[in-house]
A = this chain, B = another copy of it.
Amino acid sequence: MAAAIALSRRGRGLSTPNPNVGCLIVRDGCVVGRGWTQKGGRPHAEAQALDQAMDRARGGTAYVTLEPCFHLSPRGPRCADLLARAGLARVVIALRDPDPRTDGQGAAHLRGQGVAVDMGLLAQDAAAAMAGFVMRQTRGRPHVTLKLGLSLDGRIALSDGSSRWITGPQARAHAHMERAMHDAILVGAGTLRADAPRLDVRLAGLEARSPRRLALTGGDLPDGWGRISAPQDISTLDRVDHLLVEGGADTAAAFLRAGLVDRLLLYRAPILIGAGLGGIGDIGLADLADAHGRWRLVDERRLGEDRLEVYAAAPSA
């Protein structure tokens, strides 16, 4: 299942509005098919894996990160049907589909066709890999990541605004990879004006993965940019399940004040800046006690000289 979850990440930022599902088919100890949801949502992961496996799927086990769909769509077949017809002996599912059109019916259909079904294996990891889809289904809005590139003392720039470079090439490449895994990137009016950021993916082979560009502003926009006028408007964005907020401080604060940040990406360089610009503006915190218990470290790694820390919002936040 961990391998299926890893496959599912390949579709992140591409498969929207469909969930980025991963699927692995195993028979006699060999992987006979692998699939992940393709660009725009089709084919589904299961269909792709079955195409690879062909008749080797018969009697095998499918590992799929989300319950196979069982609702009719003009865009393709129902995966629960496909899996049953392919003669799989067993289907292991990580996450039950929160989409009410399936929500347990996919598993029920498989069982009805004599397929053994297990559901819940690594469900939390699968949900994290498909965070945008889950957030859209459960709260009707995209999953929001806030990215900050910081010095040890929490500065994102010198007082004059210069920020090239705080982090090193490995951290910047990682940040570009994160861009490729989001449907849209958002900055504030100040950052748009000051930095005229391209916000594209500058990684060899991934140039076409540059996400849509959005600004939180009432002002003018360059060509090719979209706009929202308040953080809450993200729920109205079409085909945006994974949103990356890249700054500046006021925009970060606006999303935090609205409770609309699900994940923090902190790229930290081993430098001190002293007087300079902070990464987050006024979030309306009046009592330190209210700041605690909201963030949980979920990942960390070295990136050259820098360190990446990933925090997830605590469930209550």
Contacts and interface: CB of A to CB of B under 8 A. Distances in A.
A154 to B, nearest CB: 1
A152 B282 contact: no
A124 interface: no
Given A291-B272, A291-B273, A278 B153 contact: yes
Interface string A261-293: 000101001111111101111111110100110
Interface string A159-195: 0001111100000000000000000000000000000
A155 B282 CA distance: 12
Given A152-B266, A154-B154, A155-B154, A272 B278 contact: no
Interface string A291-316: 11011110000000101010100000
A151 interface: yes
A274 B281 contact: yes
Contacts of A86: none
A158 interface: yes
A110 interface: no
Contacts of A271: 288, 291-292, 294-295
Contacts of A165: 288
A256 interface: yes
Contacts of A162: 288
A148 interface: yes
Nearest to A264: B152
A255 to B, nearest CB: 11
Interface in A127-170: 148, 150-155, 158, 162-166
A297 to B, nearest CB: 6
Contacts of A283: 272-275
16 contacts: A150-B154, A153-B154, A153-B278, A158-B286, A253-B274, A270-B294, A271-B288, A271-B291, A272-B283, A272-B291, A272-B295, A273-B288, A274-B284, A275-B278, A276-B285, A292-B305
